[in-house]
Amino acid sequence: MKDLAAPQTRAIGLETVGMTKVFGPLVALDDVSINVAPGSFHALLGENGAGKSTLVKCILGFYQPTRGTILVNGAEARIPTPAAARDIGIGMVYQHFTLVPCLSVAENLVIARGDKAPVIDWKAEKAALTAFMDRMPFRVPLETPVSALSAGEKQKLEILKQLYLNQHFLILDEPTSVLTPGEADQVLGLLRGMTEAGEITVLMITHKFREVTAFADAVSVLRRGRQVGGGPVSEMSTDAMSRLMIGEAEVRPPEARAEGVASDLQLELTALYVDDDEGLPAVEALDLKVRGGEIVGVAGVSGNGQSELVEAITGQRPLKDGRIFINGKPFEATRRDYHGFKVFGLPEEPLRNAAVRRMTVAENIAFRAFDRPPMAGLGWWLKPAQMRRRAAELIAAYRVKTPSTETPIENLSGGNVQRAVLARELSQDVRVLIVANPCFGLDFVSVAEIRAQIVAARNRGAAVLLVSEDLDEILELSDRVAVMSGGRIVHIAPGAEADRQTIGKYMAGHA
């Protein structure tokens, strides 16, 4: 292929014309035409299932569009395979990392280059890699195995890898979900700089309006496979963008925060030590108190011990040391204590951590109470009719969309699984609520519903511990914000006084 662009502007322009992709009865993408000018920073907005990834997979050659064409620098391009996309210069930075954990940074970069020489001349490669890193705006240590990198470094390495492969059209899929606010701004700012210099073109999938307004030139919004709007970012308000994304669906307004609900109730974590899967310390000397009628949000970059902390509290992982007290009495993660202290939880990935995939919705909803009256007699004689009746009530009250109470819960959408779990956990008298990443990957309507339910539990006097990687969620819901870094609580601030920059610094461990 001839070099179409002028030598100093190496960025590629790309246009899709009438892209349509049909999977059986499902129209995943319906007549989408977007135009990404060379050297621009283009945002692709949409909820889960709006067709963003289908569009991108068509561009990358993973899927063949049912109809529609792709123009690269104005000329029609056929992209039958991912390798063809790579040859054109289109590279993808995936949300799930595609780095090989056991290989070092250098090995990952060299192997990605896909050339044919069987023996690798490490001396020459190392020299070339060092020279490459010197030209880049951010760097990652070459000798470290990828498994030892932080999430932020991995994300940077993913981007570096595409640049190393000489890709001039980068597609980024939610690139900042694992970064601290500071790192996110840094990485996006540097990419923005490279687009302005005409080095690369960026197409970024996101749902964060803040990033769109701060870094993108233009935006396209998808909803249910259709292109519902777009244009220069300077001409669009955040409100207009969110209306385009959500459409006519009714979103529950945020639950008002009731005052004066604080109580003497207290959840107290004292000197908790928890190990990770490899026996290394994940949580160290962690102390935290949560009062009744209060939401304490634990912010932190993924992998700083938050999952281990939640698993230890909910009994999925042994506590190495330390005690948990509720109202001064020791709490163990046993069924008896859960019931006695009225402790409930919404763990992350509810389908994995809070439900049995192949059991029915009714059975899953009955987990808390299946062996107690009225659902059971004598402690062991179960009454399925009672279970179904109770499940039907809760399904209606929490608006769970399911064909019947007897559907296996794995057939429900993510939002509805979370609602079913919510129904089970919040329909009783809740004193302590442990919540972890409750809205991850859910649509706007479900997110609003779930956040409102959490605040409602607080308003009823429950002590709520909210662990989330979504800083916006923490700031929106918390009465107090705690920051977790390296397995410890490194900062606590009242929610009203918490600000993004300070929290970001503590999250990065720089403060």
Residue placing its CB nearer to other proteins in the complex, 110 or 477: 110
* Contact region with other proteins (CB under 8 A), list: 118-126, 133-141, 220-228, 475-483: 118-126
Q: Which one-letter amino acid corresponds to residue 468?
A: S
**Amino acid identity, residue 88?**
I
- Is residue 98 within the footprint of other proteins (CB under 8 A)? yes
Least distance in angstroms from the C-beta of 122 to other proteins: 7
Which region, judged by CB under 8 A, interacts with other proteins, from 13-21, 109-117, 317-325, 498-506?
A: 109-117
Should residue 114 be labelled a site residue for other proteins when binding is judged by CB under 8 A? Answer: yes
Q: How far is the CB of 277 from other proteins (least distance, A)?
A: 7
Q: How far is the CB of 82 from other proteins (least distance, A)?
A: 6
Cis peptide before 374 (omega within 30 of 0): yes
Please identify which residue in the block is written with the tokens 């899967």: 277
- 124 binding other proteins? (CB under 8 A): no
Nearer to other proteins, 259 or 278 (CB): 278
* Shortest distance in whole angstroms from residue 94 CB to other proteins: 7
CB of 30 to other proteins, least distance (A): 27
**Positive or negative, the Cα torsion across 60, 63, 64, 67?**
negative
166 is an interface residue for other proteins by CB under 8 A: no
Stretch 60-89 residues interacting with other proteins (CB under 8 A):
81-83, 86
Query: How many Å apart are CA 418 and CA 439, to the nearest integer?
Result: 8
Structure tokens at 409: 């819960």
- Cα distances from 394 to residues 311, 350, 424, in angstroms, run 26, 17, 8
Q: What's the token pair of residue 6?
A: 């002028």
Question: Least separation, in Å, of the C-beta of 110 and other proteins?
Answer: 7
With CB under 8 A as the contact rule, the residue among 3, 75, 80, 116 that binds other proteins is 116
| Cβ proximity of 360 and 390 under 8 Å | no
Q: Considering only residues 7, 25, 75, 117, which one is a binding residue for other proteins as defined by CB under 8 A?
A: 117
For other proteins, which is the closer residue by CB, 145 or 441?
145
Q: Report if residue 101 touches other proteins, rule: CB under 8 A.
A: yes
Q: Helix or strand or coil: residue 342?
A: coil
Q: In sequence order, what are the residues at sequence separation of 6 or more whose Cβ sits closer than 8 angstroms to the Cβ of residue 31?
A: 18, 19, 20, 67, 68, 226, 227
To the nearest whole angstrom, how small is the minimum distance from the Cβ of residue 253 to other proteins?
Answer: 40
Identity of the residue, 311 or 425, whose beta carbon is nearer to other proteins in the bound complex: 311
- The two beta strands, 14-23 and 90-93, are unpaired
Closest alpha carbon to 105 in 154, 132, 145: 145
For the CB of residue 43, give the shortest distance to other proteins in the complex, in Å. Answer: 23
Give the three-class secondary structure for 237. Answer: coil
Q: Applying CB under 8 A, which of residues 107, 183, 185, 255 lies at the interface with other proteins? A: 107
Residues that bind other proteins (rule: CB under 8 A) add up to a total of 30
Contact 169, 14 (CB under 8 A): yes
DSSP string, 308-329: HHHHHHTTSS--SEEEEEETTE
Choose the stretch contacting other proteins; rule: CB under 8 A; options: 111-119, 226-234, 302-310, 394-402: 111-119
| Residue at token pair 């503590």 | 506
Query: Of these, 17, 31, 68, 94, which contacts other proteins (CB under 8 A)?
Result: 94
Residue 293 makes CB contacts below 8 A (sequence gap 6+) with 258, 261, 262, 263, 265, 458, 459, 461, 462, 463
Q: Which of residues 267-286 bind other proteins (CB under 8 A)?
A: 277-280
- The secondary element (H helix, E strand) that includes residue 31 is strand 26-32
Least CB distance to other proteins at residue 111 (A): 4
Q: Which residues of the shown chain bind other proteins in the complex (CB under 8 A)?
A: 81-83, 86, 92, 94, 96-103, 107, 110-112, 114, 116-120, 122, 147, 277-280
